[in-house]
Amino acid sequence: MFNAVDVFEAVAEPNRRHLLGLLAERDRTAGELVDSLPALTQPAVSRHLRVLREVGLVEVRPDGQRRIYALKPDGLQRIDDWITPYRRFWRDHLAALQQHLENR
Amino acid sequence: MFNAVDVFEAVAEPNRRHLLGLLAERDRTAGELVDSLPALTQPAVSRHLRVLREVGLVEVRPDGQRRIYALKPDGLQRIDDWITPYRRFWRDHLAALQQHLENR
DNA sequence: GTTTCACATACGCTTGCGCTTATATACGCC
DNA sequence: GGCGTATATAAGCGCAAGCGTATGTGAAAC
């Protein structure tokens, strides 16, 4: 019924990356996050937070009638793991460039 | 007129990640890449390759009537740069876990 | 030049995303 | 209880992504 979203798709959305950036600084209430995206309405931000929750990038804890969002430490690791094998490509490239500069 | 696609969106598509994976092994012709995705038609794969080209993740060189695709070394670096500040989160988390195990 | 092969593009279609407005839920305060 | 505040969900819509079929382009072989 609902399409399961994966981490890559979650992170592809600029507004969601913005939210992650704020949560990297410190935990925030849903209200604070809504205020941080003035171009969007409250329900829009709420939906983005839902997506981030569902892929395990953030977690919520209730605080009275507020809801405090926090970054979940290992969520982005899946992307990092995926990138790892590719990392050597630009490392090699940079190394070759370095070599070239030294040898001229 | 054309919506500029960014790297994150390009990588969000599973078929495109599949193509990148193959190109990480070695350069391939468009035809080989088409064969690697039997669920898709040739035009579908061609369009995915176009997206990967436009965001600078791959490059093409002609070889007679073939077109040889190759991974572009620094394309994914932008994603890696973005992840970097977050990396310490799961590092810290793992460290805390380690600490906990040693102290029990 | 014509035919064939390898690949890209055009077009039309369906589906899902992200948005807004409206409404529900749930807590705190009186 | 009733009311305001904080957040989530429902409903509906526009638009773009991704797909397939059909067609264009350009090189090679004859």
H helix or E strand, kind and range, residue B78: helix B77-103
**DSSP structure class, residue B54:** H
Question: Crossing angle of helices A77-103/B77-103, nearest 10°?
Answer: 120
Q: Do A85 and B8 touch (CB under 8 A)?
A: no
* Nucleotide at minimal C1' distance from the B40 CA: D19
CA distance A70 to B101: 24
Q: What is the pLDDT of residues A5-61, one digit of tens each?
A: 899 999 999 999 999 999 999 999 999 999 999 999 999 999 999 999 999 999 999
Chain C positions under 7 Å from a protein CB? Answer: 5-10, 16-22, 26-28
Q: Is the pLDDT of residue A69 over 50?
A: yes
Q: What is the pLDDT of residues A70-103, one digit of tens each?
A: 999 888 999 999 999 999 988 887 778 888 888 7
Confidence of residue B85 (pLDDT cuts 50, 70, 90): very high
Smallest Cα distance from A32 to chain B, Å: 21
Q: What is the pLDDT of residues B19-64, one digit of tens each?
A: 999 999 999 999 999 999 999 999 999 999 999 999 999 999 999 9
Tell me the torsion sign for CA atoms B52, B58, B59, B63: negative
Position A2 scores a pLDDT of 60
- Residue B30's nearest CA partner among B79, B78, B6, B65 is B65
Position B2 scores a pLDDT of 54
Q: Do B89 and A82 touch (CB under 8 A)?
A: no
Position B98 scores a pLDDT of 84
Smallest Cα distance from B42 to chain A, Å: 24
> Which residue bears the tokens 């990356």?
A17
Q: Is the pLDDT of residue A1 over 80?
A: no
CA distance A9 to B15: 13
Provide the CA A64 to C1' D18 distance, Å, integer.
44
Q: Which residue numbers of B have CB closer than 8 Å to A's CBs?
A: 8-9, 11-12, 17, 20, 24, 71, 73-74, 76-77, 79-80, 82-83, 85-87, 89-90, 92-93
H helix or E strand, kind and range, residue A33: helix A30-36
Closest chain A residue to B75 measured between Cα atoms?
A90
Can you read off the two tokens belonging to residue A41? 């309405």
Confidence of residue B104 (pLDDT cuts 50, 70, 90): low
Smallest Cα distance from B97 to chain A, Å: 12
Q: Do B76 and A93 touch (CB under 8 A)?
A: no
- Residue B53's nearest CA partner among B2, B1, B104 is B2
Q: Whole-model pTM above 0.85?
A: yes
CA distance B79 to A81: 12
CA distance A62 to B102: 32
Position B1 scores a pLDDT of 47
The closest CB to that of A12, out of B9, B83, B85, belongs to B9
Instruction: Calculate what percentage of chain B has a pLDDT beyond 70.
Output: 96
Q: Is the pLDDT of residue A104 over 70?
A: no
